[in-house]
A = this chain, B = another copy of it.
Amino acid sequence: MSPNVETRTQRLATLLGTELPIIQAPMAGSQGSALALAVCAAGGLGSLPAAALMPEALRAELTVLRAQSEGRPWNLNFFAHQPPAPDVAREAAWRQSLAPYYAAYGIDPTQVPAGAGRSPFSAALADLVEEFRPPVVSFHFGLPAPELLARVRGWGSKVLSSATSVEEALWLERQGVDAVIAQGLEAGGHRGHFLWRDVSTQMGTFALLPQIAGAVRIPVIAAGGIVDAQGVAAALALGASGVQAGTAYLLCSEASPSPVHRAALIAEATRIRTGQPASGTTLTTLFTGGAARGLVNRAMRELGPLDNAAPAFPLATAAIAPLRAAAEKVGLGDFSPLWCGQNLSALPVNGSISAAEVTRALAQGLAAG
């Protein structure tokens, strides 16, 4: 391992203000302040995903974080997408393809509201967040407009964003982010790409990370497939200064995936370890309109995970929501986004694990060099 690994990891920890250069990936819908606080208490950087929270819920979570973080830094994550114009014809066509499912579940399609479901960072959100002065703010899908970014910097927040190509990493560096998250395709949830659209060309962590680390001068945080000490050691070997891990934290006692999500993760991890045919994960636009990685389920199989007519991100969120709710009520994840990454090695299939245990396990990889 190169002699400057310790320098690199220390530089990132100093930047973040944490003991460890380990970030818990924000996972909207599967966790709140409880997981973030547990990771912070263990020396990592806990993250609160803000994108799917209504303003009052966000304020409540921020109040908890401020009160209970005991001076430790934490990360607030926002989306920074350009909201698309609603497309009435596309929305109608999409609902038409969902019609058999609505009928099967007795859902009246005329009662299914439209809407975005996910809001990008905005002046109104900046007004709300300002008083909480988050120590770190991370963005997904690029960055907000320069004046908004300047406000965030003005509070003293360190700024991170995700790159899925060398081009994106260099672009983010030019905009002045403090560190870049290299998101390999192994990662669960939404792709953070913003300068290209062809997800078929996205790179795995093994290819993306060293190419980004070779191109930028700011610290690079590795994401995608990193779930344990050996993953951290490998990421450092490939030029990372630290890691962001999501899937490893998904079944922690402090996380809150839905019961169907939890059950699906345990079943899949069991299949993989025993060599049974796995469901696998793939990218899908079904649940939000944006390409995101989750376990293959019925909706993906029947409607096509990517080659479907779902409205643009995040407008697809609304139409499938009532199907998700109805199926989950009877214990089925057929219409649920079962987000997870490709590496399920660290998921407990029996019993539970705490965020502190996961963080300590990851931290073992920091000293492995």
Are B186 and A203 in contact (CB-based, < 8 A)? yes
A69 contacts B by Cβ under 8 Å: no
* Per-residue contact bits, chain A 211-227, to B (CB 8 Å; 1 contact, 0 not): 10011000000001110
Are A1 and B369 in contact (CB-based, < 8 A)? yes
Give the shortest distance, in Å, between A52 (CB) and chain B (any CB): 25
A285 contacts B by Cβ under 8 Å: no
Scan residues 345-362 of chain A and give those whose CB is less than 8 A from a CB of chain B: 345
Contacts of A365 in B (CB 8 A): 237
Question: For residue A168, which residue of chain B has the nearest CB?
Answer: B275
Give the shortest distance, in Å, between A309 (CB) and chain B (any CB): 15
Contacts of A203 in B (CB 8 A): 186, 342-343
Are A273 and B215 in contact (CB-based, < 8 A)? yes
Scan residues 317-369 of chain A and give those whose CB is less than 8 A from a CB of chain B: 341-345, 365, 368-369
**Oligomer: number of copies:** 2
Contacts of A273 in B (CB 8 A): 166, 211, 214-215
Question: For residue A343, which residue of chain B has the nearest CB?
Answer: B207
Question: For residue A232, which residue of chain B has the nearest CB?
Answer: B237
Are B282 and A211 in contact (CB-based, < 8 A)? no
Q: Cα distance A211–B226 when bound, in Å?
A: 12
Contacts of A196 in B (CB 8 A): 277, 280
Report which of B206, B237, B276, B280 forms a contact with A201, defined as CB distance below 8 A.
B280
Are A210 and B231 in contact (CB-based, < 8 A)? yes
Are B204 and A342 in contact (CB-based, < 8 A)? yes
Chain A interface, number of residues (Cβ within 8 angstroms): 61
Are A206 and B230 in contact (CB-based, < 8 A)? no
Contacts of A166 in B (CB 8 A): 272-273, 275, 278
Scan residues 32-46 of chain A and give those whose CB is less than 8 A from a CB of chain B: none
Q: Cα distance A76–B193 when bound, in Å?
A: 40
Q: Cα distance A333–B152 when bound, in Å?
A: 47
Report which of B167, B200, B210 forms a contact with A275, defined as CB distance below 8 A.
B167
A238 contacts B by Cβ under 8 Å: yes
Contacts of A228 in B (CB 8 A): 210
Question: For residue A167, which residue of chain B has the nearest CB?
Answer: B275
Are A224 and B204 in contact (CB-based, < 8 A)? yes
Contacts of A192 in B (CB 8 A): none
Scan residues 274-305 of chain A and give those whose CB is less than 8 A from a CB of chain B: 275-283, 296, 305
Give the shortest distance, in Å, between A212 (CB) and chain B (any CB): 10
List, sorted by A's number, 6 A–B pairs whose CB atoms are closer than 8 Å: A185-B204, A200-B305, A201-B296, A231-B237, A233-B234, A234-B238
Instruction: Give me the interface of A with B, judged by CB distance under 8 Å.
Output: 1-2, 165-167, 169-171, 184-186, 195-196, 198, 200-201, 203-208, 210-211, 214-215, 224-226, 228, 230-231, 233-235, 237-239, 272-273, 275-283, 296, 305-307, 341-345, 365, 368-369
| Nearest 5 interchain pairs by C-beta | A204-B204, A201-B280, A206-B225, A207-B342, A170-B275
